[in-house]
Amino acid sequence: MYRCSQERICEDLKGPMSILIIEAFYGGSHKQLVDLLQEELEYCVLYTLPAKKWHWRARTSALYFSQNIPASEHYRILFASSVLNLTELAALRPDLGKLKKILYFHENQLVYPVKKCQERDFQYGYNQILSCLVADVVVFNSVFNMESFLTSIGKFMKLIPDHRPKGLESIIRPKCQVIYFPIRFPDVSRFMPKHKAAHLQKILSLKGNGGVAPSMALPFQQEQRGSENLLKNFDSESGSCDAAQQENLGRSVRQESYLKTFSSSDNSSTHHGEHKRNPCNILAGADDQQRPLHIVWPHRWEHDKDPESFFKVLMHLKDLGLNFHVSVLGETFTDVPGIFSESKKALGSSVLHWGYLPSKDEYFQVLCTADVVISTAKHEFFGVAMLEAVYCGCYPLCPKDLVYPEIFPAEYLYSTPEQLSKRLQNFCKRPDIVRKHLYKGEIAPFSWAALHV
Transcribe 80-149 into DSSP letters.
EETTS-HHHHHHH-HHHHTSEEEEEESS-TTS---SSGGG--HHHHHHHHHHHHH-SEEEESSHHHHHHH
pLDDT at 129: 98
Which residues are CB-neighbours of 218 under 8 A, at least 6 positions away? 179, 451
pLDDT at 270: 33
pLDDT at 172: 98
pTM value?
A: 0.79
Which residues are CB-neighbours of 221 under 8 A, at least 6 positions away? 213, 215, 229, 230, 233, 451, 453
**Under 8 Å between Cβ of 141 and 181:** yes
Q: What are phi and psi of 446, to 5 degrees?
A: -100, 10
- Cα dihedral 372, 373, 378, 383 sign: negative
What is the bridge-based pairing of β-strands 395-399 and 372-374? parallel
* CA separation for the pair 373, 394 (Å, rounded): 6
pLDDT, one tens digit for every residue, the chain (453 residues):
444 433 343 344 445 459 999 999 999 899 999 999 999 988 899 999 999 888 999 999 999 999 999 999 999 999 999 999 999 999 999 999 999 999 999 999 999 766 555 556 899 999 999 999 999 999 999 999 999 999 999 999 999 999 999 999 999 999 999 999 999 999 999 999 999 988 988 877 654 443 333 333 333 233 333 334 444 444 444 444 444 444 444 434 333 332 232 233 333 333 344 555 555 454 544 565 679 999 999 998 988 899 999 999 999 999 999 999 999 998 887 788 899 999 999 999 999 999 998 789 999 999 999 999 999 999 899 999 999 999 999 999 999 999 999 999 999 999 999 999 999 999 999 999 999 999 999 988 898 887 765
**How many residues in total does the chain contain?**
453
For residue 23, count CB atoms less than 10 angstroms from its CB and return exposed for 0-12, middle for 13-18, buried for 19 or more: buried
